[in-house]
């Protein structure tokens, strides 16, 4: 049986692995290779064709790994957060580090201290940034929960960036989690602005996520 003391390195490794999985591989894009790019250059020989197939398969695998890392980001850091008693300081510090790495506006703005190829990867095309913003919205409540209310100043600029986005999937995720965000950190004026924006947009798919929670939202106020 693994002791609490022994499990700390394993949990830290999981967080490190999650962080590395979010990185691009050889500067590859976040979006899946298109059929056009696959057929852009024809192989000159059987060996060229084999190499091309291997590269295509590798890119597909890289695309899958990074998408899975983004999709399950919140669940993974939350699972580690629940084990905080194992090594509270070390684990919480690493959770914050990994969350900071993922929730970085520079990934879509282009101004970052990270490796240049990482920013270029996310900014390579519209599909890349759209997918990243979708996963930011999806995982945002959990990212805020595991890092406590004092993480709101870090998350808020990203929230401001994405809540007006045209993607319905982003709006739905943010609308569904408004009450949870308010419970963690009640930024009254800002959250009311978000609710007003969503309700005025008159999108049934979004509003149906907000209306059932309005009573609970009102209860948050003094």
**Helix runs in 46-151, H state only:** 46-71, 73-81, 88-102, 106-109, 116-123, 126-147
* Six token digits for residue 177: 């989690």
pLDDT for the residue numbered 67: 86
Question: Cα dist. 218→47, 199, 214, 222 in Å?
Answer: 66, 16, 6, 9
pLDDT for 121-152, tens place per residue? 444 445 678 889 999 999 999 999 999 888 99
Degrees, nearest 5: CA angle 191-195-200 = 150
- Over the stretch 39-66, which tens digit does the pLDDT of each residue have? 444 555 555 556 556 666 667 777 788 8
Neighbouring CB atoms inside 10 A of 52's CB total 14
Q: Which of 171, 176, 161 is nearest to 201 (CA)?
A: 171
Q: Give the pLDDT of residue 55.
A: 63
d(C-alpha 91, C-alpha 85), whole Å: 9
10-residue stretch averages of pLDDT, the chain, 222 residues long: 67 93 56 46 55 64 85 94 85 95 86 48 59 93 92 94 92 93 90 90 87 88 80
């Amino acid at each position: 049986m693994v002791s609490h003391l022994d499990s700390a390195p394993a949990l830290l490794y999981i967080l490190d692995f999650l962080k590395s999985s979010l990185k691009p591989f050889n500067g590859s894009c976040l979006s899946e290779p298109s059929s056009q790019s696959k057929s852009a250059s024809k192989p000159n020989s059987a060996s060229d064709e084999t190499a091309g197939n291997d590269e295509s398969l590798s890119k597909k695998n890289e695309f899958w790994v990074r998408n899975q890392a983004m999709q399950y980001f919140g669940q993974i850091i939350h699972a580690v957060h629940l084990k905080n008693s194992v090594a509270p300081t070390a684990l919480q510090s690493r959770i914050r580090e990994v969350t900071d790495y993922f929730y970085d506006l520079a990934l879509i703005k282009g101004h970052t201290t990270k490796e240049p190829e990482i920013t270029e990867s996310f900014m390579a095309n519209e599909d890349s940034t759209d997918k990243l913003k979708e996963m930011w919205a999806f995982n945002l409540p959990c990212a805020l929960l595991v890092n406590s209310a004092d993480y709101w100043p870090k998350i808020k600029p990203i929230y401001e960036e994405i809540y007006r986005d045209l993607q319905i999937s982003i709006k739905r995720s943010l609308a569904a989690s408004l009450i949870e965000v308010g419970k963690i950190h009640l930024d009254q004026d800002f959250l009311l602005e978000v609710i007003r924006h969503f309700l005025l947009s008159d999108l049934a798919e979004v509003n149906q996520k907000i209306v059932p929670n309005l009573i609970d939202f009102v209860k948050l106020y003094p």
